[in-house]
Amino acid sequence: MASSRPAQTDAYSLILDAIDVGVYVPGDRLVESELAERFGVSRTPIREALQRLETQSLLTRDGRSLIVASLDHNQLSELYVVRAELEGLAARLAARHATEEEVRVMEEMVEEDMSLIGQPTALSRANRRFHKQIHLASHNRFLVQQLDLVHRSMALMATTSLAAEGRGEKALAEHRAIVEAIRARDGDAAYKALRDHISVAFMTRLKLDSADPERSA
């Protein structure tokens, strides 16, 4: 019993990561045998991982098949509302609790990510790392857990808002403002800067979806 737990956890992480990086996108069907072959894991932990992902609403049923779930307009709006509040709180707490080393890492991330402008997929991965660093700098394990759940659901978006023209440069400028507020130990400014950042990202996504209705279908 105990020996199956690591395999189940690994299978879960492998499938979740594949969804997160776009190997599987909303609407794709996930088949136990194919996943087991791809990841070199037996079908039992794959089955358990799929059940866990379905429970978390990351997968949904289409007849007898499991497919990667998608978010409708209302779900997307609800997700961004929660994300903005939780991320803002993380920034506020980071302004209070982040170590000097953590702040420096965030500053370096912003500078290094400038080289990724024009590469939306790579910039999206870097964006997740940056936000994760803020979560960790809050030094609140319960908040980090809730933000992990939110960011898992973000993986159900087939595209990144960073693909919009000019969004990469603006997003990094917003990241810089967030870090500056954290560096200044100004919790209110950090909270507002991060909330505004999420708000702009949401508006950008809504514009992308309105320009391509199939994107949000």
pLDDT in tens, 3-51: 444 455 589 989 988 887 778 888 999 999 999 999 999 999 999 999 9
Q: Do domains 4-68 and 73-216 have the same CATH topology?
A: no
**Topology given in CATH for the domain delimited by 73-216:** Four Helix Bundle (Hemerythrin (Met), subunit A) (1.20.120)
> Alpha-carbon Rg of the chain, whole angstroms?
18
**Topology given in CATH for the domain delimited by 4-68:** Arc Repressor Mutant, subunit A (1.10.10)
Whole-angstrom distance, CA of residue 165 vs CA of residue 68: 27
Q: With beta carbons less than 8 A apart as the criterion, state whether 66 and 59 touch.
A: yes
Per DSSP (E only), the strands in 13-64 are 29-30, 59-62
End-to-end CA distance of the chain: 42
Which tokens belong to 56?
A: 């978390």
Task: Please report, for the chain, the start and end positions of each structural domain, with discontinuous segments joined by +.
Answer: 4-68, 73-216
- Tell me: the pLDDT tens digits for 99-150? 999 999 999 999 999 999 989 888 988 999 999 999 999 999 999 999 998 9
